[in-house]
Structure 1
Amino acid sequence: MRAPIGFRISNRRKSLKISQAALARLIGISPSYLNLIENNKRDIGGALLQRVAHHLQIETADLTGDDEQKLLQDLEEAYADPVVESLDFQPDERRQLVAQYPASAGAIARLHRAYANAVASADNYADRLRSDPLLSQLLHQILSGITAVRSSAEILEDVPDLDEAERKQFLGAIGREARALSDVARSLIGQFDSSSRVAGNVSAMREIDDLIIEQQNYFPQFERVAEDLRRELDTRGTFGPALLVEELERRFGVRTQIGGSSGIEDFPGQYRFDAGERVMWLQGSTTLATRQFQLARLLGELTAADVMRETLDAATLTSPTTRRLAARAMGSYLAGAIVFPYSRFLAEAEGLAYDIDQLRQIFNGSFEQVAHRLVSLRRPGEEGIPFGFLRSDPAGRLTKHFPLPGLLLPNSGHACPLWSIYGAFRQPETLLRQVVRFSDGSRYLFLARSLQRRPGSYREPATHISIMLACDVLHADRTVYASGLDLDDREADVPVGPTCRLCTRRDCPARQEEMLTPDGPRSVTRLPLIPQEFGLGDSG
């Protein structure tokens, strides 16, 4: 669902008592074209939308209805839940609810979120109890340990003529079994805790999403810290890993170690900071871009510790897990702001038509780092193209996302199988571009590329990820990736949905799950060969 921008323009214009002809003259278009926009028959975006907002004395976000878009998307999930999907909802009911009773719509969305978290937690515990072989094994170990302790204790109690050596032997056995029982019990508790953390992560990621959306993925307090720090670094030498290593040593007494042992046996990560020893360890196989980014992140977090703490304290974060994940996200944001200074990066991006590969070369960054920074160019009055961001593993599971108002990006699980984020795995290290159209008529430019992360050794398997950027097609002609595309040719668009269960395209051959519309027409791609009204072998 898309917010009715045209209606907002019309209502705002009328409230200011500006005629349609006068506004059209001010923004440089014909009155007839403005009439089409106000009746939601023409899309509007980019510079034209900014001119409209300027002359109507209103923020662009107030016209586009970004907050309402997010609420509409939350209601989409709530209304598609199997518990309520069979109810006879009106086609435009969600939009009307958001428009007329936004507080009630928000209450429904919050209640559904709480319900989904509770169901996820219950399902995780039920799965543990029903089918987890490790749980069964741990329970058998506990039973065996109790039996052994009981046996030794009964011997001590019932056999009075044991000599001292035998008594010590049985006491030692009881001690060993008790310690083993303690370890097994901790493992058992850990299994339940890990299940709870998995369920909690769903809620944690939603809270972080809310924080990012509330800030429009732009945090001015971190930008100010990054600008001051980068300005000082540039006076000391050429920005890069070597300078960052020197500054960490000079300012905070942190020694950097590249290669060798991380200090933890079988540590799987590429980098680690040992706060006690004041050592920043980086795996020897890490790229220069990774070293630069992580060193900048550490320098930023140490420099801006108070700012980070204030930001986290001010946010609505209900658990230690959420706070830890939010702190990690804030640290990465701060690192991006240091490595890619806002104004310079935006100027280079605009000048190069958002060519990611050229931006990588200029700033010595990785594809993923540059994509992250493009998403955060939301400074009021100095904005870049609004992008959404997704990352997927080879199994199709979404591992990171930054939302774009209007575009329903799944929080977790899998997205539409037709999205280019999955096609990129079939063409490694090649950027795929794709113009897609959703069933509500909204159109987006998708840019996706798969990446391989360097293994640390021959025995370590290489890992792959896929990165996707998405922007409204209205902004596509500002990018180099629109070259050769006929953006007006809607017939060339790829018809897609958000996920199969939320997609209303009944004729999609890529569908993997049924739509959540049991009372509607049946999907022709999932019918049995023999009509289900007749049984096999019926005689009359």
Structure 2
Amino acid sequence: MRAPIGFRISNRRKSLKISQASLARSLGISASYLNLIENNKRDIGGALLNRVAAQLDIDIDELAGRTEQKLLQDLEEAFADPLVESLAFRPDERRELVAQYPASAAALARMHRAYSSATAHADAYADRLRSDPLLSQLLHQILSGITAVRSSAEILEEVTDLDEAERRQFLSAIGRDTRTLSDVARNLIGQFETSSQNRRSVSPAREIDDLIIERQNHFPELESVADVLRAEIEQSGQFGTATLAALLESKFGVTLLVGGAPNDPEFPGQYKFDSARRAMWFQGASTLATRQFQLARLYGELAGADAIAHTLESATLSTPTAHRLASRAVGSYLAGAMVFPYARVLDDAEASAYDVDHLRQVYNASFEQVAHRLVTLRRPGEEGIPFGFLRSDPAGRLTKHFPLPGLLLPNSGHACPLWAIYGAFRVPDTMLRQVVRFSDGSRYLFLGRTVQRRSGSFREQPVLSSVMLACDVLHADRTIYGSGLDLSDLAADIPVGPSCRLCTRRDCASRQEEALSPGGSRSEIRAPLVPAEFGLGDPP
């Protein structure tokens, strides 16, 4: 879902007391067209958006509402919750809420986040209760107490002819039961050695997503450190595996080992750093692109440890696991910035119309590494196309993602089966492109391609994954992948959703799961192969 740019233009224009006709003349467009833009009935981007920002004297990031994109995505997820998804929301309700009542929208998103976190914690508690007889017994006592309180309360509420003595008797019973319930609850809590987690996110992955979105996929401090480290490396020779290996050995005493068995026989990866032995091991079948990137990451983590630590200081990371994964992600970002210097890769990307295969050859990199770097080209005033990134395993499970504000990506599990990230498995080693349209009218260019990790032996199963880049269709004509596409032909768009259980399309022949419905009630959107009258499992 896109940010409500039109509403922001309208509000800003009115605050400056500029008439619609006057602004339209200064922009070189008709007043009727500006009216459509202000009512969010026409997309706006590129040069026109820059002219509007200049005329209204407002920063383009603020006008485009990029800081609000995450809020829109959070509301999209909240409104798809099974508890509320059946309500009759208007198509633009979330967009208008963010535009006109941003504090209320943020409050709703925070409450849904807290609700999701509480649900996750409840599941964890349930798992523990099932394996602990004492805790299970305490839980049954709590349920019994709740039942007793509810029964007394319902009598007080529904029976209107109780005399005062009877009413006092039920009130006394409620008071007694609630005191007992409170004691049992304290005993239950005492069994768990937990601290307050009011501000904890649902999962480490979600916390890392929040960090990335908060920084708009761009870390200026790491970019500066990467430039310094790259220059330092190039003083010793041409940037590449040989120079990196020599510097790691001379400066940090790290030995490079290629081929042979890893130190840990049960380790299945292609590379591993043994900090005790100061050795960086690579599987013999690993590509030069993998070796270059991982050596750069190790060099960056050793030489730029302070910058990595400083980057994570302000992040909300509530567990050691979250901190470890975030440190890994930041280290990989630093490596990408070293392998692909910002100004140079941006110039090369623009010159080649974001041809990923061309950039692979220029930088001796893999398709996935180039895709990662394109996501991070967000330096103010020197921005590339804003991309989102997804990776899937052959089973369809999403294993890595860098969110694109406005595009609703499932936090886990599977995405829409019609997305290019899954279609790419049908045409290995070939770029698959799609122009897709979501039910809210937002349109994106999806680019999917398979990537494969080399197997080390005949007995080893090759690991195949699929990678997808996604950008707003407004930027499609800036890429080589937009060539030959009629981007104005809406009939050629592929209708998609975020995932089956979050999708509201009633006529989708590719639906694999029923849509979420509250309370286990009959779903209004049924799987295509199951007729509505065949109510297996549905209540009568």
Residue 78 of structure 1 corresponds to 78
> Structure 1 pair 316/524, CA: closer, same or farther in 2 (3 Å)?
closer
Residue 383 of structure 2 corresponds to 383
* TM-score relative to the length of structure 2: 0.81
Structure 2: distance between partners of 1:63 and 1:124: 42
Is 1:522 aligned with 2:524?
yes
Structure 2: distance between partners of 1:105 and 1:83: 18
User: Given that residues 372 and 389 in structure 2 are in contact (C-alpha distance below 8 angstroms), is that contact kept between their aligned partners in structure 1?
Assistant: yes
Residue 236 of structure 2 corresponds to 236
Residue 16 of structure 1 corresponds to 16
Deviations 1:445-465 (A, max 9, x none): 000001111112222111111
Residue 209 of structure 2 corresponds to 209
> Structure 1 pair 517/122, CA: closer, same or farther in 2 (3 Å)?
closer
Residue 329 of structure 2 corresponds to 329
- Aligned residue for 1:50, secondary structure, equals helix
Structure 1: distance between partners of 2:297 and 2:122: 37
- Aligned residue for 1:296, secondary structure, equals helix
Structure 2: distance between partners of 1:309 and 1:508: 47
Q: Which moved more, 1:249-258 or 1:113-122?
A: 113-122
Q: Which moved more, 1:55-64 or 1:16-25?
A: 16-25
Is 1:348 aligned with 2:348?
yes
Residue 311 of structure 2 corresponds to 311
> Structure 1 pair 237/263, CA: closer, same or farther in 2 (3 Å)?
same
User: Given that residues 515 and 526 in structure 2 are in contact (C-alpha distance below 8 angstroms), is that contact kept between their aligned partners in structure 1?
Assistant: no
Is 1:454 aligned with 2:458?
no
Residue 112 of structure 1 corresponds to 112
Give the C-alpha shift of residue 295 in structure 1: 0.5
Residue 463 of structure 2 corresponds to 463
Structure 2: distance between partners of 1:202 and 1:262: 35
> Structure 1 pair 89/488, CA: closer, same or farther in 2 (3 Å)?
closer
Q: Give the 5 Å matches for 1:166-205.
A: 203-205=203-205
> Structure 1 pair 509/380, CA: closer, same or farther in 2 (3 Å)?
same
Q: Give the 5 Å matches for 1:87-486.
A: 93-123=93-123, 126=126, 203-486=203-486
Select the residue among 527, 530, 533 that pairs with 1:531: 533
> Structure 1 pair 338/527, CA: closer, same or farther in 2 (3 Å)?
closer
> Structure 1 pair 113/529, CA: closer, same or farther in 2 (3 Å)?
closer
Give the C-alpha shift of residue 88 in structure 1: 6.0
> Structure 1 pair 209/313, CA: closer, same or farther in 2 (3 Å)?
same
Structure 1 counterpart of 2:363, one-letter code: F
Deviations 1:373-421 (A, max 9, x none): 0000000000000111111000100011111111111111111111010
Deviations 1:283-342 (A, max 9, x none): 111100000000011111111111111111111111111111110110110000000000
Structure 2: distance between partners of 1:27 and 1:87: 40
Deviations 1:216-267 (A, max 9, x none): 0000000000111112222332111101111112222221111223211221
Percent identity at matched positions?
Answer: 70
- Superposition CA RMSD, Å: 2.7
Structure 2: distance between partners of 1:3 and 1:410: 19
Structure 2 counterpart of 1:42, one-letter code: R
Give the C-alpha shift of residue 29 in structure 1: 3.9
- Aligned residue for 2:471, secondary structure, equals strand
Structure 2: distance between partners of 1:486 and 1:402: 28
> Structure 1 pair 422/125, CA: closer, same or farther in 2 (3 Å)?
farther
> Structure 1 pair 6/378, CA: closer, same or farther in 2 (3 Å)?
same
Deviations 1:58-98 (A, max 9, x none): 22221222333322221222232233445565665544543
User: Given that residues 3 and 65 in structure 2 are in contact (C-alpha distance below 8 angstroms), is that contact kept between their aligned partners in structure 1?
Assistant: yes
Structure 2: distance between partners of 1:201 and 1:107: 16
User: Given that residues 356 and 371 in structure 2 are in contact (C-alpha distance below 8 angstroms), is that contact kept between their aligned partners in structure 1?
Assistant: yes
User: Given that residues 507 and 525 in structure 1 are in contact (C-alpha distance below 8 angstroms), is that contact kept between their aligned partners in structure 2?
Assistant: no
User: Given that residues 389 and 467 in structure 1 are in contact (C-alpha distance below 8 angstroms), is that contact kept between their aligned partners in structure 2?
Assistant: yes
Structure 2: distance between partners of 1:27 and 1:512: 47
Deviations 1:417-452 (A, max 9, x none): 110100001111110000001111111100000111
- Aligned residue for 1:470, secondary structure, equals strand
User: Given that residues 425 and 450 in structure 1 are in contact (C-alpha distance below 8 angstroms), is that contact kept between their aligned partners in structure 2?
Assistant: yes
> Structure 1 pair 122/312, CA: closer, same or farther in 2 (3 Å)?
same
Structure 1 counterpart of 2:55, one-letter code: H
User: Given that residues 282 and 291 in structure 1 are in contact (C-alpha distance below 8 angstroms), is that contact kept between their aligned partners in structure 2?
Assistant: yes
- Aligned residue for 1:514, secondary structure, equals coil
Deviations 1:183-224 (A, max 9, x none): xxxxxxxxxxxxxxxxx9951111111111111000000000
Residue 488 of structure 1 corresponds to 488
Give the C-alpha shift of residue 57 in structure 1: 2.4
Q: Which moved more, 1:455-464 or 1:32-41?
A: 32-41
Structure 2 counterpart of 1:281, one-letter code: W
Structure 1 counterpart of 2:382, one-letter code: E
Structure 2 counterpart of 1:502, one-letter code: L
Structure 2: distance between partners of 1:360 and 1:393: 22
Q: Which moved more, 1:486-495 or 1:94-103?
A: 94-103
Deviations 1:139-161 (A, max 9, x none): xxxxxxxxxxxxxxxxxxxxxxx
Structure 1: distance between partners of 2:84 and 2:531: 30
User: Given that residues 507 and 524 in structure 1 are in contact (C-alpha distance below 8 angstroms), is that contact kept between their aligned partners in structure 2?
Assistant: no
User: Given that residues 8 and 99 in structure 2 are in contact (C-alpha distance below 8 angstroms), is that contact kept between their aligned partners in structure 1?
Assistant: no
User: Given that residues 113 and 201 in structure 2 are in contact (C-alpha distance below 8 angstroms), is that contact kept between their aligned partners in structure 1?
Assistant: no
> Structure 1 pair 353/92, CA: closer, same or farther in 2 (3 Å)?
closer
Residue 52 of structure 1 corresponds to 52
Deviations 1:112-143 (A, max 9, x none): 33433443454466568879xxxxxxxxxxxx
Structure 1: distance between partners of 2:379 and 2:233: 23
Structure 2 counterpart of 1:523, one-letter code: I
User: Given that residues 438 and 497 in structure 2 are in contact (C-alpha distance below 8 angstroms), is that contact kept between their aligned partners in structure 1?
Assistant: yes
- Aligned residue for 1:236, secondary structure, equals coil
User: Given that residues 403 and 409 in structure 2 are in contact (C-alpha distance below 8 angstroms), is that contact kept between their aligned partners in structure 1?
Assistant: yes
User: Given that residues 447 and 470 in structure 2 are in contact (C-alpha distance below 8 angstroms), is that contact kept between their aligned partners in structure 1?
Assistant: yes
Q: Give the 5 Å matches for 1:504-515.
A: 504-515=504-515
User: Given that residues 435 and 444 in structure 1 are in contact (C-alpha distance below 8 angstroms), is that contact kept between their aligned partners in structure 2?
Assistant: yes
Residue 181 of structure 2 corresponds to none
> Structure 1 pair 445/529, CA: closer, same or farther in 2 (3 Å)?
closer
> Structure 1 pair 326/423, CA: closer, same or farther in 2 (3 Å)?
same
User: Given that residues 308 and 327 in structure 2 are in contact (C-alpha distance below 8 angstroms), is that contact kept between their aligned partners in structure 1?
Assistant: yes
> Structure 1 pair 87/434, CA: closer, same or farther in 2 (3 Å)?
closer
* TM-score relative to the length of structure 1: 0.81
- Aligned residue for 2:369, secondary structure, equals helix
List runs of 5+ in structure 2 lacking aligned partners: 132-199
Q: How many residues align?
A: 468
- Aligned residue for 1:52, secondary structure, equals helix
